[in-house]
Amino acid sequence: MKTNAILLAALCITACGDDSNAGEGNDGATTSSTDDTGSTTNETPTSATTDDPGETTDAASTSADVTTAANSSDTTDASDTDLPASNCVERPEPDCPPAPGAISTELAEGLIQDGSATALDVRGVGSFATAHLPGATVLDASDLRANVDGVSGQVASPEQAQVSFESAGISPGDALIVYGDDNGTNPARVVWTLEYYGHTGPVWMLDGGLEQWTAEDRGVETEGEAAGGSTYEPAIAEALRVDEQWVLDHLDDPTVTLVDARGNGEFTSGHIPGAISVDWVRNLGRNGLFLPADELRELYGSPSADQTLVTYCQTGSRASVDWLVLAMLGYSDVRIYDGSWSEWSADPTNPVE
């Protein structure tokens, strides 16, 4: 399962010129949902699920005519923010370590068939048994969450994460394609957790998940189980996570931008001072796939490359999608406030806007 870096780069460079997701799947369809005022909207992406208890979804305004995914070929000039032209997901090079990001179904299928990457199903054993990507292994995303000091949804302990990773049969250097049913919060959260616990191989989230995969008539399997048998020793990457005190200490720091991934109604009802609002579903087009990179940069206000970007939501789930997108765009210092609004709002001494 170890990655052959040169072969992986060659495969990616060959495939990245195709916008394989354009016009496919659920493009143009809508899902009616209720916003915080009780009215309904048809602007939510068709594939956007919040996977953790305690997280709610607020209907958001999204671009209506988007038919491409962020992992497709993108020629946007990043000079305005001094970001690298590539994060090595879209155009990998042997001397450029890949950043976390989204990967198209077409590119993912090639890597899986070649044996250069392994699919990691994070929906749990029951869903896995119904249908899964070829050769996939499985873990339950909920096994990587824990209740810490009364705050739910926190990252699991290193010991708990180690058991989950080893049960799935993955090792730190493996190239992994993480997926759920769609572009929900669970796969993004698992990508972040792998990075937080020191995964050194490439980790991508499958853009559109199993729904997009099957909509394109790509093959699935019903046989198989968790691989097991690996060794995984977590090495915590402290720079990917902040706590309540860190946020308090940096409220007036001009080099830090807080990004609230909750819905607009939740944001206007109260948020951490100075935070900007980017509802996690706004990262998705109406086809349920990630927006193109230039639209995503604009969505976040094109922060400068030297900013420390900290995402939060209610319990860290929706924040994981915003984190993934910012990392995918090439920002080098993106973190999650894991306690998020659940912890912040529980302390009456914390300032609120």
**Measured between alpha carbons, how far is residue 199 from residues 139, 161, 170, 344 in Å?**
16, 12, 10, 29
pLDDT tens by residue, 105-155: 998 999 999 898 999 999 999 999 999 999 999 999 999 999 888 888 899
Contact 324, 100 (CB under 8 A): yes
Q: Distance (Å, rounded) from C-alpha 265 to C-alpha 255? A: 27
pLDDT reported for residue 171: 96
Q: Distance (Å, rounded) from C-alpha 242 to C-alpha 250? A: 11
Tell me how many degrees the CA angle 192-196-202 measures, rounded to the nearest 5: 65
Q: Distance (Å, rounded) from C-alpha 39 to C-alpha 333? A: 38
Tokens at residue 204, please? 């991508």
Contact 219, 201 (CB under 8 A): no
Question: Hey, which CATH number is domain 238-344, 3.90.105.10, 3.40.50.2300, 3.30.450.20, 3.40.250.10?
Answer: 3.40.250.10
| Spacing of C-alpha 262 from chain mean position | 15
The sign of the CA dihedral 176, 181, 187, 188 is positive
DSSP 8-state secondary structure symbol assigned to residue 162: H
Strand partners, 258: 310
pLDDT tens by residue, 277-309: 999 999 999 999 999 999 999 999 999 999 999
pLDDT reported for residue 55: 53
* Rg from Cα positions in the chain: 19
- Per-residue burial over 206-218, b if 16 or more Cβ lie within 10 Å, else e, is bbbbbbbbbbbeb
Strands 145-148 and 151-155: antiparallel
Q: Which residues of the chain have pLDDT under 50?
A: 1-44, 53, 56-81, 83-87, 89-97
Domain coordinates of the chain in residue numbers?
A: 238-344
pLDDT reported for residue 99: 64
Close Cβ partners of 199 (under 8 Å, ≥ 6 residues apart): 172, 174, 176
Q: Distance (Å, rounded) from C-alpha 195 to C-alpha 33? A: 33
Helix (H, G, I), strand (E, B) or coil at 227: coil
Q: Distance (Å, rounded) from C-alpha 12 to C-alpha 18? A: 11
Helix-strand-coil split of the chain, %, nearest 5:
30, 20, 50
pLDDT reported for residue 58: 39
Contact 220, 132 (CB under 8 A): yes
Surface-to-core class of residue 301, CB atoms within 10 Å of its CB (0-12 exposed, 13-18 middle, 19+ buried): exposed
pLDDT reported for residue 78: 37
